[in-house]
Structure 1
Amino acid sequence: MKINYNKHIKEGWTVQSFIDDLAPQIDMIMSGRSWQPAFTTREEVKKWCVDNQPYYKKYIPDVVNHFCKEYNITG
Structure 2
Amino acid sequence: MKKIDYNKHVWEGWTVRGFIDELQPSVAMIMNNRSRQEPFQTRQEVKIWCMDNQPYYKKYIPGVVDHFCREYNITN
Compute the TM-score of the two structures, normalised by the length of structure 2: 0.98
- The offset of 1:41, in angstroms, is 0.1
- The offset of 1:29, in angstroms, is 0.1
- The offset of 1:50, in angstroms, is 0.1
Alpha-carbon separation, structure 2, partners of 1:55 and 1:34: 23
Partner of 1:9: 10
SS at match of 1:26: helix
**1:40 alignment partner AA:** Q
Alpha-carbon separation, structure 2, partners of 1:36 and 1:19: 19
Alpha-carbon separation, structure 2, partners of 1:36 and 1:10: 28
Alpha-carbon separation, structure 2, partners of 1:56 and 1:34: 23
Show the 5 A alignment for 1:1-75: 1-75=2-76
Q: Which blocks of at least 5 consecutive residues in structure 2 are unaligned?
A: none
**1:55 alignment partner AA:** Y
- The offset of 1:18, in angstroms, is 0.0
**2:34 alignment partner AA:** R
Alpha-carbon separation, structure 1, partners of 2:36 and 2:7: 32
Q: Which blocks of at least 5 consecutive residues in structure 1 are unaligned?
A: none
SS at match of 1:9: strand
- The offset of 1:45, in angstroms, is 0.1
